[in-house]
Amino acid sequence: MEKEKKQSPLMRLRSLRGVTQESLAKALGVSRNTVMRWETGRAIPQLTIAQVKALCETLKVGLNEIPNNFSSQQSQEGKSPLKQLREQAGLTESDLAKALSISGKTISREIIQQWEESGEEPNLPLTQVAALCQVLDVSVIELAEHWNANRSG
């Protein structure tokens, strides 16, 4: 009996949706080799919120369905998109930093301040993007749209 080749969660989901490595790479703005390294576990994706949104759209899944083990401009009000969402959620920088400190990957209050002051979109592992969406009580689509709206405004 031949051993069945074990597929990574990302590879299974991508295959199930009929998406090639090339088309996923193009949607995310990365190389096909990068997608292959994620699927083989040789690299862990560090994705922007826009890339997570593109990943969800390309694979036609919600953020909670993405396997997490494959794992700027200021607004008119002068607040970054992250700061606006954090304040809407009634969180302090420390609360957000604590919520994003996952699996030994510590995010400090100072890092949250840097993100908010710069208005730059943070580049985070999927587990932290999921935690960010959860703690801010928004979907990844809402988060990406909020970021994009504040960049063009």
On the question of pLDDT at 9 being above 80, the answer is: no
Task: Tell me the percentage of the chain whose pLDDT exceeds 90.
Answer: 11
Range(s) for CATH 1.10.260.40 in the chain?
9-65, 81-152
The correct CATH number of 81-152 out of 3.90.950.10, 1.10.260.40, 1.10.10.10, 3.20.20.70 is: 1.10.260.40
pLDDT tens digits, one per residue of 114-134: 777 777 777 777 777 877 888
pLDDT for the residue 104:
54
More confident residue, 4 or 54: 54
The chain-wide mean pLDDT, for the chain, equals 75
On the question of pLDDT at 41 being above 80, the answer is: no
Assign 1 a pLDDT band (cuts: 50, 70, 90): very low
9-65 sits in which CATH class? mainly alpha
Q: Rounded distance, CA 108 to CA 98, Å?
A: 8
On the question of pLDDT at 69 being above 50, the answer is: no
- Which amino acid is located at 32 in the chain? R
Q: Rounded distance, CA 4 to CA 32, Å?
A: 24
Helices (H), the chain: 9-16, 21-28, 32-40, 49-59, 81-88, 93-100, 109-118, 126-136, 140-152
